[in-house]
Structure 1
Amino acid sequence: MITLMNETIKQLALIGPTASGKTSLSIEIAQKMDACILSLDSLSIYKEIDIVSAKPSREERAGILHYGMDYLSPDEHFDVTTFVKLYQEVYRQALSENKNLVIVGGTSFYLKMLIEGISDLPAISETTKEKTALMLQELNDAYQFLYDMDPSYMQRIAKNDRYRIEKALHIYFETGMTPSEYFHVNPPTSVINGTLPIYQIDIDREMLRKRIALRTQLMLKEGLIDEICMLEKKYTREPNCMKSIGIKETLDYLDGVYNKQLLEEKITTNTARLAKRQTTFNNSQFEGVIKGNVEELQKIIVQ
């Protein structure tokens, strides 16, 4: 399992649409492999977002160490670099403890970025931070300043995306290069250590729809509405995570847009659409993937 001399561990990734059975299968795999789990999920990463993220309970985790859950507060920003740092930290931790690693999640974009890698950013001086802060006082002007220099890069960034505009300004003021020039000179390199076989849960669409509907019902019974009320009161509706499926529909319900039955239907429908997008992404973005239903993958990986 572990080759300390080469500093490698056994690892694999498990992907699939939401509600397809990834969580229970990943725990079973981790038990068999003597592994820890790194979650790649854009909601489970937040503390206090438990029901709507379908985060496994402490009991369901069966003593397996889970990373990438309860990592940030809902009002903290994160992007792909967060998961890159997480992977690197977890890999080192697993190596030091003679553990293997199972990467699992529905947000496969982050897995793709781990495989393809991201470019190292320059160290940012205080002078650059001061220049950037001054520019950001007028966000529209800052965006236009960057767009005039580098339209191909900036057209992919929203005019109100303060975080990414700030990063682009940092690059320009620190290096004198536009973001496009900088990333051309500093291409991305893969973050993954060693090999990473990818397994994908293949599930019938109608069966998945039923599983999504059942999970939505359970969420409501477990206190979904109370959880969203707590999150809104504590963090407002401003954080990006408050616009996620399950949260935005519940906020509409609280505003009187939906009754409870329609709330359940809306969450189910929007989750099913998300699952379809996830499957399309998975089928188009990864090569050499081993596909099968839960039982088939269980036999391939666990037995």
Structure 2
Amino acid sequence: MSDPLLLAIVGPTGSGKTALSLALAEELNGEIVSCDSVSIYRGMEIGSAKPTAAERARIPHHMLDVADPSEAYTAGDYSRAGREVLADLHSRGKTPIVAGGTGLYLRALLDGLSPVPPRDEELRKRLRHSVQRHGDAHLHSLLSRIDPKAAARIHANDQSKLLRAVEISLLERRPLSAQFHAAPPEPLKEFRIVKIGLTPPRAILYQRLDTRAAEMFTNGLVEETRSLIARYGKDCRALTSLGYTQAVAEINGTLTHEQAVASAQQGHRNYAKRQLTWFRAEPDIHWIEDFGAPSLKRAAEIIQSL
């Protein structure tokens, strides 16, 4: 008996992943596992282009709204939680359809990452307090003493990576570079994985992205951003995401409304290019160039042929 199917629908933002994943979920007795680094956050609806309430009612979705925007959520966090979802779907005889454009999350979910311990918030609080007392250079200096190899790889100003490296070294009582980067990742083994990539004609994709970005502002992106700032603070890390960055700039008066929309449109086009570059380098992706019904027909043919 062959392993159960896991279908991954990948590609740039605006390429039709949501529509295709919904249609395939209905055909394959499936449920959808979001693979998007912004949709994991609660309250970030408009700028993340999350599936609508009607779409979520049509097919169960997972890995949406699993963290507050004030939380740091890593690829490792996503992999651990996502694999629990996959195990549940497997136990219920459902076909997992992983849909999204965050390539690192997909790689972590399917291929695994070198094992590292989860975050320790109490330790992090103490380390942040030390930075406040001793200055921004403290973490890099500390890491240089306990793990010179890691310190040489991480820029002295990258506080987030420095904090994580120091945290891991202290929790495990050995340098991060001594074991974890050498430890092999653990690929997902329970499924027959089929990856389908969407790459519609670029001119059509860019037109869709320009329309989508403008509609986000029309549909209340600035108001949503104000609400997030009021709840989580202006320095909330999730607000550096595409779209929210431009909304913050409009709120602060550094961009006019028209400039913010144009910047978001350009940002979405640039992001789509980066996503395509990432996924083009990934192995075993079957590419489809059409939108809508033709992509569904072609996806079904691909699945049946493998």
The normalised TM-score by structure 2 is: 0.86
Tell me the CA shift for residue 54 of structure 1.
0.6
Match of 1:289 in 2: 285
Deviations 1:30-66 (A, max 9, x none): 1111111111111111111001111111102342111
Contact 2:196 2:286 in 1 (8 A): yes
Q: Structure 1 pair 131/194, CA: closer, same or farther in 2 (3 Å)?
A: closer
**CA 125–86 in structure 1, closer or farther in 2 if over 3 Å, else same:** closer
Higher alpha-carbon deviation: 175-184 or 155-164:
155-164
SS in 2 for 1:42: coil
* SS of alignment partner, residue 13 of structure 2: coil
Is the aligned partner of 1:143 residue 2:143? no
In 2, Cα distance between the equivalents of 1:27 and 1:83? Answer: 21
**Residue by residue, what CA displacement relative to the aligned partner does 1:159-209 show, whole Å, maximum 9, x if unpaired?**
455554344334333444321111255322214533211110011111111
Distance 1:276 1:185 in 2: 32
**Secondary structure of the equivalent of 1:103?**
strand
Give the Å deviation of 1:259. Answer: 2.0
Change (3 A) 1:35 1:177: same
Deviates more, 1:236-245 or 1:44-53: 236-245
Work out the CA distance in 1 between the residues paired with 2:189 and 2:12: 22
Displacement of 1:142 in angstroms is 2.9
1:220-264 per-position Cα deviation (integer Å, ceiling 9, x unaligned)? 221111111111111112222111111111111112222222221
Show the counterpart of 1:12: 7
1:39-118 to 2 correspondences below 5 Å: 39-118=34-113
The separation in 2 between residues aligned to 1:178 and 1:144, in whole angstroms, is: 14
**Runs of 5+ consecutive residues of structure 1 not aligned to the other structure:** none
Q: In the aligned structure 2, how far is the partner of 1:125 from the partner of 1:216?
A: 37
Quick one: distance in 2 between partners of 1:232 and 1:106?
Answer: 26
For 1:272 and 1:148, how far apart are their aligned partners in 2? Answer: 43
What amino acid is aligned across from residue 15 of structure 2 in structure 1? S
For residues 231-242 of structure 1, what are the structure 2 equivalents within 5 Å?
231-242=228-239
The counterpart of 1:133, out of the listed 114, 126, 137, is 126
Residues paired across the two proteins, number = 295
Which portions of structure 1, spanning 4 or more consecutive aligned residues, are displaced by more than 6 angstroms?
123-126, 129-132
- Structure 1 length-normalised TM: 0.87
SS at match of 2:14: coil
Partner of 1:198 in structure 2?
Answer: 195
The one of 254, 259, 270 aligned to 1:262: 259
Alignment of 1:118-267 (within 5 A): 118-121=113-116, 133=126, 137-138=130-131, 140-159=137-156, 161-191=158-188, 193-267=190-264
Could you tell me how far apart the structure 2 residues matched to 1:229 and 1:112 are? 33
Residues 136, 142 of structure 1: 8 Å contact kept: no
Bigger drift between 62-71 and 29-38 goes to 62-71
Q: Residue 124 of structure 1: CA displacement?
A: 9.3
Q: Quote the RMSD (CA, aligned, Å).
A: 2.7
Q: Displacement, 1:156?
A: 4.3
Aligned to 1:301: 299
Aligned partners of 2:229 and 2:236 also within 8 Å: no
For 2:126, the aligned partner's letter is A
Instruction: Show structure 2 runs of 5+ residues with no match.
Output: 302-306
